[in-house]
Structures are given as structure tokens and as C-alpha cells.
């Protein structure tokens, strides 16, 4: 009888050891996944900052009057989707609209109409993500003309570029401004 009680105690201890081991293993796996997720998120945030620096650098390099670069390229980010540029004169215009078929760009409407001082956006699964502001960017016209409310309302005040091994777009320099087109 004493042997049966001792055997039962040994079995209970063994079950407790296995349960403890399972808890430790699950906790280790959970912490590992959490750490990897946080590292990836932090890396993407840093990459987004570098991305806007790269866009600003490209705009500055192509702003010389008469410069034309039909194949300007910037690298893609973690949140790679569309890269959109909004004309500097459209910011705050209550008439701003996007093209009817461009459902992904709908998130730009409220941000631009509210006057958010941003004219470079990434559009992806999370909607429109404001990336930065560059006062030289114009879209769809040259600096000698201005966008009318009709132009802004018809979707001519922004341009989006699809991601394909980075983003490629054209730039035309006007000195103080750079016209961006797909």
C-alpha cells in the first residue's frame, strides 16, 4: 500500500513537471513572436523615414529648370502599395476629389480637404498613410498655370504610382517646383 501511494505521488510529480515544461515552452514561443513582430514594426517605421528622405532628395535633384527625368526611381517600403503625390496648391481645397475608379486613393480625400500639411502618401492595406511634405511638388500643370477648382474636383490634383520593384515616375524641373507624373 505504501508503494502504491509513493507511485501515485511520483506520477503526480511527473505530470506537474510536464505541465510546467509546456507552460515554459509556450511562453518562450509567445515572447519570441512578440519580439520579432516589434522588431519588424520598428524597422518599417525607420524605413518610412528613410523613404521620405529619398523622395525629397529625388525631388531636389530634379528641380533645376528644364530638367526632365522620365525614369525617376525610389525604393519601396514595408508598406509598399501605391505612392501618391498631391499638388501643393490642392492642400486644403474642399473640392479635392480622386478619380472614380481609384477606390484605394479615397483615403486622400479627407486628409487633403482638411488641409493636413502632407502631399506624399503611401496607400496600402491600412489606407492612406501620410509620409511627408515637399513644397516643390506640383501635379498635372506647370507653374505658369494654376489648378482650378474644376481641375481639383475632377481628380487632376494628384497622381499615384504603383509599386513595381520600387516606384518609378517622371519629373520635370521648373526651378522652384517639380512636376510629378506617372
Q: Which set of grid coordinates corresponds to residue 18?
A: 510536464
Q: Strand 68-74's sheet: what is its strand order?
A: 68-74, 167-173, 178-181, 137-139
> Distance of CA 130 to CAs 16, 49, 123, 173, Å?
53, 11, 9, 24
In this predicted structure, the answer to whether residue 169 has a pLDDT above a threshold of 80 is yes
pLDDT given for residue 144 in this prediction = 76
**Are the C-beta atoms of residues 156 and 140 closer than 8 Å to each other?**
yes
The answer to the question of residue 68 being in a domain is yes
Q: What is the 3-state secondary structure (H, E, C) of 84-150?
A: EEECHHHCCCCCCCCCCCCHHHHHHHHHHHCCCCCCEEEEECCEEEEEECCCCEEECCCCCCCCCHH
- Would you say residue 88 lies in a domain? yes
In a domain, 62, yes or no: yes
Task: Check: CB of residue 98 under 8 Å from CB of residue 108.
Answer: yes
Checking if the pLDDT of 5 tops 70, the result is: no
Q: What is the mean pLDDT of residues 154-165?
A: 84
Q: C-alpha angle with apex 32: 30 to 34, nearest 5 degrees?
A: 70
pLDDT tens profile 9-61: 777 788 888 888 888 888 888 887 777 776 666 667 667 778 888 888 888 88
Q: Which domain holds residue 103?
A: 45-181
Number of structural domains (the chain) is 1
Q: Is 7 part of any domain? A: no
Question: Is position 49 within any domain?
Answer: yes
- Residue 20 is assigned to a structural domain of this protein: no
Residue 152 vs residue 180, higher pLDDT = 180
Handedness of CA 125, 59, 152, 182 (dihedral sign): negative
Q: Which one, of 172, 102, 106, lies nearest residue 144 by Cα?
A: 172
Distance, CA of 74 to CA of 53 (rounded, Å): 10
pLDDT of residue 39: 62
C-alpha cell belonging to residue 44:
518599417
Strands 178-181 and 137-139: parallel
> Is 38 contained in some domain?
no
Tens-digit pLDDT profile for residues 48-101: 778 888 888 888 888 888 888 888 888 877 766 888 888 888 888 888 877 766
Beta-carbon-side half-sphere exposure of residue 99 (alpha carbons within 13 Å): 8
**Domain assignment present for 131:** yes
Amino acid at each position: 500500500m505504501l508503494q502504491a501511494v509513493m507511485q501515485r505521488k511520483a506520477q503526480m510529480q511527473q505530470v506537474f513537471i510536464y505541465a510546467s515544461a509546456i507552460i515554459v515552452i509556450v511562453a518562450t514561443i509567445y515572447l519570441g513572436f512578440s519580439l520579432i513582430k516589434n522588431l519588424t514594426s520598428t524597422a518599417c517605421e525607420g524605413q518610412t523615414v528613410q523613404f521620405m528622405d529619398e523622395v525629397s532628395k529625388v525631388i531636389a535633384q530634379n528641380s533645376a529648370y528644364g530638367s526632365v527625368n522620365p525614369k525617376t526611381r525610389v525604393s519601396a517600403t514595408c508598406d509598399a502599395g501605391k505612392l501618391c503625390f498631391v499638388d501643393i496648391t490642392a492642400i486644403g481645397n474642399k473640392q479635392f476629389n480622386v478619380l472614380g475608379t481609384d477606390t484605394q486613393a479615397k483615403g486622400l480625400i479627407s486628409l487633403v480637404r482638411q488641409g493636413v500639411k502632407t502631399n506624399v502618401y503611401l496607400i496600402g492595406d491600412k489606407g492612406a498613410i501620410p509620409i511627408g511634405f515637399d513644397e516643390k511638388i506640383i501635379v498635372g500643370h506647370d507653374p505658369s498655370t494654376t489648378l482650378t477648382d474644376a481641375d481639383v474636383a475632377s481628380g487632376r490634383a494628384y497622381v499615384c504610382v504603383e509599386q513595381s520593384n520600387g516606384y518609378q515616375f517622371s519629373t520635370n524641373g521648373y526651378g522652384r517646383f517639380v512636376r510629378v507624373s506617372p
